[in-house]
A and B are shown apart, each in its own frame.
Chain A
Amino acid sequence: MSLSFINIRLLTSIVCISMLIVSNSIQAKTKDKYEYSSNSLRVRLSPKVPQNIAAFYEGRGFSKPMIDTLKQQCFITIGIHNKSNDIIWLKASNWVFSTKAGNIKRRDRAYWKSVWKKMSIPLAHQSTFRWTLLPEELDFRSGEHEGGNIILPYTEQPFTLTAEFKTKADKSGELIKVIINDIRCVR
């Protein structure tokens, strides 16, 4: 009687722990938004599935080779909101994406310009593509929201974003350091 009671408790515990592990792992695999938020700044990251990316650019008339190239990447849509009363400076070149194995190099505008040039992509499509990217640098004004995509080489590994934002018009204000952990590309 007592043994059976212990067994039931043990079994229940195992089931509960297993469910917790499974649920955490599902959450990690299906998380579609990552966010940093403080009184002065909000940064949101939403990894995009390749089908969404393909559908968007197909709708803009992009060629198949261009879309096939983009579908291989890790697309993350970024939203930035300056909630402070001062200027906050975005400088994408100081954003660091790191895994346990090392840093991931972001594929910036210069990278894509060279890729599209080699593929002889029409200027109109290059222009539209550029406008969907996060600005490389921007002085976010008080209350301003802006966003855009950043593109990384696809990785299965979870990674961390470390980004610094200078503040005030002359960049002399308090530095805002943003760290977002366990980000995953989606497929």
Chain B
Amino acid sequence: MFNYKKLLLITIFSCVSLMVMAQDSLPVAPYGILKLTPYPAPKIQLHDIDGKAFNLDETKGQWVFVHFWASWCGPCRKEMPAIQKMWGELEPLGLKIVLINTAEDEDTIFNFLGIYAPDIRALMDRNGQITEQWKPRGLPATYLVDKEGLVHYQALGGRPWNNEIYLNFIKSLLHKK
């Protein structure tokens, strides 16, 4: 009576669907994070405030938090302490955090970070040209880049990155294969 053939087909179809979904789907983003159609991240080759070179291409295999900021931007000042707290929690788990200052000098960056996020080292986009290539909506601007170098998410303005919702969201990305 029971149609075993039909049941088998349904089971196989369900398993395949679940496998495909598990591979392709990324977690639902919290409020203020835009899910984008993935695209290759623009190049970043810059030096940090201590003169150390950085190349985004060398971060393949890691999720990367790319953040653009400037000392004169009010929301950047508000957001930076939250990023520092997030840094402490998520970098040990494998998130690469890349902070890029837009078009300011060493002294300005040094003074700003000394006040708002003393443990953070920032890259210097001296002429603002790298920032331009990423086409942010405004400053601050944050992007999440996957292990293959594709941009998947963009944050709208400043976000409370040390809030559980955002931490758990990024943790869930880090756990994706």
Contacts and interface: CB of A to CB of B under 8 A. Distances in A.
B70 to A, nearest CB: 7
B157 A144 contact: yes
Interface stretch (A3-11, A135-143, A151-159, A171-179): A135-143
B132 interface: yes
B32 A146 contact: no
Interface residues of A, number: 23
Nearest to B72: A60
A144 B126 contact: no
A128 B72 contact: yes
A127 B128 contact: yes
Contacts of A141: 34, 156
Contacts of B105: 61, 124
B27 interface: no
A143 B32 contact: yes
Interface of A is mostly: mixed
A39 B137 CA distance: 23
Interface of B is mostly: loop
Contacts of A124: 103-105, 126-128
Interface in A118-169: 122-128, 130-132, 135, 138, 141, 143-148
Contact of B137 (A128, A130, A135): A135
Nearest to A56: B72
A147 B73 CA distance: 11
A59 interface: yes
Contact of A128 (B102, B138, B156): B102
28 contacts: A59-B72, A122-B127, A123-B103, A123-B127, A123-B129, A124-B127, A124-B128, A125-B103, A127-B102, A127-B128, A127-B129, A127-B132, A128-B70, A128-B102, A128-B128, A130-B128, A131-B73, A131-B102, A131-B103, A131-B128, A131-B131, A131-B139, A135-B137, A138-B137, A141-B156, A143-B32, A143-B156, A144-B137
